[in-house]
Amino acid sequence: MDCLFCKILNKEIPADIIYEDDQVIAFNDINPQAPTHALVVPRKHIDTVNDIADDDQALVGHMVQVAGKIAKEQGFDESGYRTVFNCNSHGGQTVFHIHLHLLGGKPLGWPPYFDENLKQPVA
């Protein structure tokens, strides 16, 4: 299967891996949107959040817990952070192997379409 994150998981493409266990890996995003921007990726290929099966519930819970552990390791668990799953076109998903974004290390804008420079929401 021609999947970027499967290739990273198989070590065919390099990544800056910051966490690894039998179920998931986490690596730094190549285009960081915060001082820490990591992606927690399951070893199992699942296309989108729509495709999470009943049997995947523990795995997805583990992904969220790993994001919390990385936040603690990096020292922003108390100041706070954001975890995001993007899904399909309107969600802005570009890699169709589910991944949990972990963003932290600075105050993050909300709602997510708020433009920090224009100080107004963007469409």
> Which partner, ligand AMP, Zn ion, none, binds residue 3 by CB below 5 to 8 Å per kind?
Zn ion
Our finding on whether 53 is near ligand AMP (CB under 6 A) is: no
Going by C-alpha positions, the residue among 42, 38, 50 that lies closest to residue 91 is 50
Smallest distance, ligand AMP to C-beta of residue 116, A: 18
- 30 touches ligand AMP (CB under 6 A): yes
CB atoms within 10 A of CB 10: 10
38 binds ligand AMP (CB under 6 A): no
Of 50, 89, 94, 117, which one interacts with ligand AMP (CB under 6 A)? 94
Residue listed under structure tokens 């420079």: 117
Residues near 55 by beta carbon (within 8 Å), at least 6 away in sequence: none
45 belongs to the binding site for Zn ion (CB under 5 A): yes
Q: Which stretch binds ligand AMP (CB under 6 A): 25-33, 54-62, 67-75, 103-111?
A: 25-33
Residue 63 is encoded by which pair of tokens? 């992904």
Among 36, 47, 27, residue whose Cα is nearest residue 93: 47
What does residue 41 show for φ and ψ, rounded to 5 degrees?
A: -125, 125
Q: Given the complex with ligand AMP, which of 49 and 59 has the nearer CB atom?
A: 49
Q: Does 3 bind Zn ion (CB under 5 A)?
A: yes
Q: Which residues contact 89 (CB under 8 A, 6 or more apart)?
A: none
Q: Which residues would be at the binding site for ligand AMP (CB under 6 A)?
A: 4, 15, 27, 29-31, 39, 86, 92-95
